[in-house]
Amino acid sequence: MAQIFPKWSNTVPIALALAGFFLLITVSGGVWYYGSPEYTDVGYRPKQPVEYSHKLHAGDLGIDCRYCHTGVESGARALVPPTRTCMNCHTLVKPESEKLSLVRRSFATGEPIEWVRVNDIPDYAYFDHSIHINSGVGCISCHGNVAEMEEVTLSKSLSMGFCLECHRSPEENLRPLNEVTNMKWAKSSDHASLAALWKKERGLEPPEACSGCHR
């Protein structure tokens, strides 16, 4: 009896299986990357109600992060500054600027400015700024170099993987305690040995268990 299908047709099931396998890998990889915070969140730059240049204030003028974002050394949150903090300077500096009209109105009425949060941790994860600041983790490690940002942009994914990577090897992000807000601080050639010493002196054992952040 003559063959119905040619001999090469025997390879079709194998070819389909291999194609299906590679398609599955490609789709899984695409979903893994394009659905991850590294792709969906990094680069987020919302429009704020008032134009505020961190490059000017934190960079050119050298204003310390803690002047505006109070509480980072003693509390869990880095507070958004109230309008009176802005007016400490702007009662004298460009007090009639049109760009500051909303700031002046907020100061006069007591109605807060509705800033849009850029770096935001989900409610199901616990994060304490003071622990990180007092451990010697620089602001730049999580927020990027805001001293060079005209508009604050989310520069790190702030995902669970991002946090765990640091908790497992914190040495890379450690620095002298008096340099945590210094965006221009640079590591020395012996950073590895210094970081190991800081980790020991500060008794750092970052949690890796789920309960460390999910309470």
pLDDT tens, residue by residue, 165-210: 999 999 999 999 999 999 999 999 999 999 999 999 999 999 999 9
pTM metric for this prediction: 0.80
Determine, yes or no, domain membership for 47: no
- Pick left, alpha or beta for residue 177 (phi over 0 → left; psi -120 to 50 → alpha; otherwise beta): alpha
Residue 39 to residue 60: CA distance in whole angstroms: 30
Determine, yes or no, domain membership for 86: yes
Q: What is the tens place of the pLDDT at every residue in 27-70?
A: 877 776 766 677 778 999 999 999 999 999 999 999 999 999 99
Q: What is the DSSP string of the chain?
A: ---SS-GGGGGHHHHHHHHHHHHHHHHHHHHHHHTSHHHHTTT--PPPSS---HIIIIIIS---HHHHSTTTTTSSS-PPPPHHHHHHHHTTSSTT-GGGHHHHHHHHH-PPP-PPPSS---TTS---HHHHHHHTB-HHHHH--GGG-SS----S---HHHHHHHHHSGGGGB--GGGTT-TT----TTHHHHHHHHHHHTT-----SGGGT--
Determine, yes or no, domain membership for 170: yes
The pLDDT of 82-110, averaged and rounded, is 96
Q: What pLDDT was estimated at residue 52?
A: 94
Determine, yes or no, domain membership for 188: yes
Determine, yes or no, domain membership for 168: yes
Q: What pLDDT was estimated at residue 108?
A: 96
Q: What is the tens place of the pLDDT at every residue in 4-16?
A: 777 777 787 888 8
Name the one residue in this structure whose structure tokens are 């299908």.
5
Determine, yes or no, domain membership for 41: no
Q: What pLDDT was estimated at residue 1?
A: 56
Residues 6+ apart with CB under 8 A from 26: none
Determine, yes or no, domain membership for 174: yes
Ramachandran angles phi, psi of 73, nearest 5°? -90, -15
Q: What is the tens place of the pLDDT at every residue in 112-171?
A: 999 999 998 889 999 999 999 999 999 999 999 999 999 999 999 999 999 999 999 999
Residue 65 to residue 139: CA distance in whole angstroms: 9
Determine, yes or no, domain membership for 16: no
Domain span holding position 75: 54-204
Q: What pLDDT was estimated at residue 147?
A: 97
Domain count, the chain: 1
